Amino acid sequence: MKTFVGIDLGSTTTKAILLDENRDVIGRGITNSRSNYATAARVASEEARVDGRFTLFRRALTEAEGISVRLDDFLGALERAFRLEQFLEQLDDLQQTCIGLVQGDRFAGRESGVKEALAEVFTRLRAEAPELYAPGAKRKSDFFRDIAGSRYHTQAEEVARDASLPYELLLNVYDKSIIDVENRPPAGGLSEKFRRALARVLEADPQLQSARGDVLPVIERTLAVDLEETYLVGTGYGRVTLPFSKEHIRSEILCHGLGAHMMYPSTRTVLDIGGQDTKGIQVDAQGIVVNFQMNDRCAAGCGRYLGYIADEMNMGLHELGPLAMKSDRPARINSTCTVFAGAELRDRLSLGEKREDILAGLHRAIILRAISIISRSGGVTDEFTFTGGVAKNEAAVRELRKLIKENYGEVTININPESIYTGALGAAEFARRAHSGQIQGVEP
Amino acid sequence: MTTIVTPKAAPAKEVVKDDSMVKQKEMMAAHYDRLTSASETGAKVVSTFVPGNLNELIMCFDLLNNLPEVNAIQSGLRRQSGAYVLEAEKIGHSEDVCTYVKSDVGMMAKGNIGPNGKKLPNPDALLLSYTGCFTFMKWFELLREQYKCETIMLHTPYMGDGKITPNMVEYMVKQIKEEVIPKLERISGVKFDIDRLREYLKKSAKAEDDLVHVLKTAKNKPSPIDAYFGGIYYIGPIFGAFRGTEDAIDYYRFLRAECEARLAEGKGPVTPDGDMGKERYRLVVEGPPNYTNFRQFWKMFYDEGAVVVASSYTKVGGVYDLGFRHDPDKPLETLAEYCLGVYTNRSLPMRIEMLANYIDEYQADGLLINSIKSCNSFSAGQLLIMREVEKRTGKPAAFVESDLVDPRYFSAANIKNRLESYFQMIEQRRAGGRAAA
C-alpha cells in the first residue's frame, strides 16, 4: 500500500507520521534528535512504520471473523514484546560495540577483565529486560539511550565493584559506544522482530494458544502488506542541515499550519510553543498560512525555559504545571530569560515566596510573551489551536485561556493530545499532495 | 525510494561581480584615498550623513565629504564592525544603541583606520543636514566632543502631513543662507559661488535620470537587477560623495547601458554566484539590509529565485523615482526639497503608499520587512506598515529581523527559516489562487 511520510526534526525530538491514501494517520513515531539528523529521521520514520503495522493488525483482526482474543490486551502484549525484541537487538549491538572498544593504553593488561565484566553486565541487562516491558511497568523514557543508559550505569557499578575494576573503565566504553549505536539505524528486519514478538506473546499466555491458528495467518497476511514509502516530506528548524533533498523539504511553519488545520479544520490561529521557538501562525480555511511571527534569536520563554526551571527546582518537567495550579497569588515576573531564570528563582525563594506562586508567575510570563508574538502575527481568530510540548502543561494552558479571553473574548481553544505531531502531520499531507501532483501541496 | 540524505557542504566559489560593481568599487577606493591623504593634500573634510547629504554644496567649498554611516557599512562588509561595536560598548555605549554609531565610535577608538588601511582624517566640520533621525544628532554630539570641531545644523522639518509646504522650504533656505553657507565659507576660506552650485546640480540631475532608469528596469520580467542587494551598489555614488560629479554621470551612464544589455538578453540580476537562476518571486523590501552577512543574506534570496524589484532603503538618500530631481534653476530651494523628500523623512502613510504602489507597479508577490534591531528610526511602525500594505494589496508580507553592522544580531538559521516559509507561502497562495480561479 502507498504511504506518505512526514518527518519533523525538532531540537529535542524527531517526529514522524505515516499517512495512507485516505489521509488517515496509520502510524506515529518519535525519537530523540541525537547528534545525527539523518539517523533521527530514519529511526522516527521506522517507528512510525512499526506503529503503522499495529494499526494494520488492529484493522485486520477487527475485520477477520472468528477471532476470539481480546484485541486490546493482545495488541498491548504484542507491542510490549516487540519493544523488548527491539531493545534486545540494540543491546546486542551495544555489547559488540563496547567490546570492540576495549583496547589501547587505557585498558593495557586489563582487557580480559573488562571484557568479562562487560559480558556479566550485559547478561544482567538481558535478564532484567523483560521486567522493563512487563504489563504496567513504568519507563521514564522510551528511547534506547535513556533506558539502556540508566540500567547500564547501575549494573556496571556493581559488577565493577565485585570485580575490583575501576568503574570509570566500563563507563568509558559505554559513553563512546552509545553514540555509535544510536547513530546506527537499527538493523534487522521488522517482520522477523514481529514474528519473534508474537511467539513470545503466544508462549507467555496459554489461553492464546487456542487462538493461534486464527491469529497467525492474519498477522502473516498483514506483514506481507508492503508499506511503500511513496513520498516523504521533511521539515524542522534550522533546515540548513536537514537530511533531505530540496524538493522534499517544506517550511515548518507551513507544515504546522497545515497540521493544525487537519486536526481542527476550523482553525484560524495556531500557537506553537516548542523547545526553542514560539510561533504564532494564521491560516485560512484551506490551512494555507497567511501570516506568521516567531521569536527571534532569543529563545526566552520557550519550552526549554520550563525544562531549566524544573532542573533548578529539582522537579520533573511534568510536575511544574500541577504545582503552579495550586497557587492563588501568582508572583509578578517579567523576565523570561532562561539564563537569568535560576538567579531569579533563588532570589524569590530566599525572599520567602512560595514555590507554587513563583511557578504560576513563570507560566504567566511565558504565555504573555507568546501572546505578544500572536498579536504580532495578526491576533487571535476563532478557532485557536495550541500545540507543542508546553500545550501539555495545565498551568500554561490556564494562563493562556485567561489571556485569550481578556484580549480576544470567547474563542474555541483546541489542544490535541497528539499535538507534538502537528508539524509531521502537515509534512505527511504535503507528501501526499506532492505525490498526487499538486503544486507545492495545494489542494485544488 | 530513499529521500533521507546526508547534506554536503559546497566548495567556496569565487565571487562574481558585474563591471559596474567593479567600477563602483574603484570609485569608492579613490574617494577613500582622497580622504586619507587629506593631511598631505591640505584638503579640508566635512562629515555628514547620507539622508540630506548636500554634496553639491560641500563641493562648492572644495571640501571633502566623509560619511560616517558609509564608513560603518564598510566596516560591516569587511567584518570589522563586530570588534568596533565591542570597543564602543567597552567605552560605555549600551547594547541597544544604533550600531552604525557604535561601529564609528569603536573605529575611532581603534585608530580610525579606513577601508584602505590608512587613517581617516579628523573632520574640520560636522554638517548635520538631516534631522529626521534623532540619533544622528546625538552621534554628532559625540563626534563634536571627540574632535572639538565646528558643528553646522540644518533643521529639516518632518513631512508629518504628507507634503512639503512653501513654508518648510523657506525655513530651510533661510538656514542654508544664514547658517550653513557662512559657516562653510569661514571653515573652508572659499567664497560661495551660486553658479558653481548650479553646475553641480545640473550634473546631479543627469546622473539621477540614469539611476531612475536603472531602478525602473526592475518592472520587467525577469528583472535584470536586484533593487535591494544590487541596489546597494547602485546608490553608492549618488548617495555619497559623487553626486554632482562627472564621475557619477559616467558611472550611471555605464550602469544604465549594462542593465539595458541584460534586459535585451532577458537575463536576471548578477549575484555573487553568477547570473541568477529562474525568477520565481518578486519582492518589495522595506528596511536597511544587514551588512555583516550581506552575501549570506542575499544568497538566501537568489538561491530560491527571489529577486527584489523595489526597496525603500535605496531611497534614503533621495526618492528620485517619484520625480524629484536637483534643479539648477532654484539651487537653494532644491537642496531644501531634497532634504525634505528623502524616504526616512516621509510620514508612515506616505511610506505605506509608496510600498503599496511599488507592489502594484513592479508586479511584486509581496512585501518583506527586514527590521533592524538597533534602528528605531526605521523600525517604529513597521508592523503597522506591514498590515496596511497587506490589506491594500492583498499580497502576503513577512518580517525578518537582523541588524545593520552588529554580527551578533544575525541569526542565519532563523532568517532562512522565515524567508523560506515566506516563499513557500507565496507559492501556496499563488497555487491556491489559480485553483480558485
Q: How many helices (H) and strands (E) does chain A have?
A: 15, 9
Q: Is the pLDDT of residue A389 over 60?
A: yes
Q: What is the reported pLDDT for A444?
A: 35
Tens-digit pLDDT profile for residues A50-92 = 999 999 999 999 998 877 778 888 999 999 999 999 999 999 9
Q: Is residue B388 part of a domain?
A: yes
Q: What is the reported pLDDT for A442?
A: 44
Residues B344, B131: Cα–Cα separation, whole Å: 10
Residues of B in contact with A232 (CB under 8 A): 1, 3-4
Q: Which CATH architecture best describes the domain A265-415?
A: 2-Layer Sandwich (3.30)
Q: Is the pLDDT of residue A439 over 60?
A: no
Q: How many helices (H) and strands (E) does chain B have?
A: 18, 10
A430 and B CB contact within 8 Å:
no
- Containing structural domain, residue B56: 19-436
Tens-digit pLDDT profile for residues A174-211 = 999 998 888 887 666 888 999 999 999 988 887 777 77
Closest CA to A237 of A225, A253, A224, A221: A253
Residues A367, B401: Cα–Cα separation, whole Å: 22
Q: What is the reported pLDDT for B363?
A: 98
Q: What is the reported pLDDT for A441?
A: 46
Tens-digit pLDDT profile for residues A225-272 = 999 999 999 998 655 567 777 888 898 899 999 999 999 999 999 999
Closest CA to B417 of B313, B275, B304, B305: B304
Residues B149, B258: Cα–Cα separation, whole Å: 43
Q: What is the reported pLDDT for B397?
A: 94
Q: What is the reported pLDDT for B152?
A: 96
Q: What is the reported pLDDT for B56?
A: 98
Cα B109 to its chain centre, rounded Å, is: 25
Domain ranges, ordered by start, for chain A: 82-182, 265-415
Is the model more confident about A107 or about B55?
A: B55
DSSP code per residue over B313-351:
GGGTT--GGGT----TTSHHHHHHHHHHHSGGGB-HHHH
Q: Is residue B5 part of a domain?
A: no
ipTM value greater than 0.90: no
CB contact under 8 A, A237 and B417: yes
CB contact under 8 A, B401 and A243: no
Four-point Cα dihedral B340, B345, B350, B354, nearest 10: 90
**Cα of B311 to nearest chain A Cα, Å:** 21
Q: What is the reported pLDDT for A437?
A: 75
Query: Which strands, in side-by-side order, build the sheet including B125-128?
Result: B63-66, B44-48, B125-128, B150-153
Backbone angles phi, psi at A120, to 5 degrees: -65, -45
CB contact under 8 A, A296 and B420: no
Residues A392, A250: Cα–Cα separation, whole Å: 26
**How many independent structural domains does chain B possess?**
1
Please tell me which residue of chain B has the smallest CA distance to A441.
B428
B435 and A CB contact within 8 Å:
yes
Pick A290's closest partner by Cβ from B6, B396, B411: B396
Backbone angles phi, psi at A27, to 5 degrees: -155, 145
Q: Which long-range contacts (CB under 8 A, 24 or more apart) does A25-29 make?
A: A25/A425, A25/A428, A26/A51, A26/A52, A26/A55, A26/A56, A27/A51, A27/A52, A27/A53, A27/A54, A27/A55, A28/A418, A28/A421, A28/A424
Q: Are B76 and B103 in contact (CB under 8 A)?
A: yes
- Which residues in B422-437 are b (16+ Cβ under 10 Å) and which e? bbbbbbbbbbbeeeee
Query: Identity (one letter) of the amino acid at B396?
Result: P
Q: For an interface test with A, give the residue of B1, B2, B3 to mutate (most A CBs within 10 A).
A: B3
Q: Is residue B390 part of a domain?
A: yes
Task: Identify the segments of chain B with pLDDT beneath 70.
Answer: 1-12, 433-437
Pick A442's closest partner by Cβ from B1, B5, B432: B432
3-class state of residue A313 by DSSP? coil
List the alpha helices (DSSP H) in A264-331: 303-312, 317-325
Residues A222, B251: Cα–Cα separation, whole Å: 73
Q: What is the reported pLDDT for A214?
A: 83
C-alpha cell at A222: 498483514
Q: What is the reported pLDDT for B216?
A: 98
What is the mean pLDDT of the segment spanning A303-318?
A: 84
Let me know if B104 is exposed, middle or buried by CB neighbors in 10 A (0-12, 13-18, 19+): buried
Q: Name, in order, each residue with C-beta under 8 angstroms of B300's C-beta and a sequence gap of 6 or more.
A: B415, B416, B419, B420
Pick B417's closest partner by Cβ from A239, A248, A290: A239
Q: Is residue B3 part of a domain?
A: no
Q: Are A8 and A252 in contact (CB under 8 A)?
A: yes
Length of chain A: 444
Q: What is the reported pLDDT for A443?
A: 43
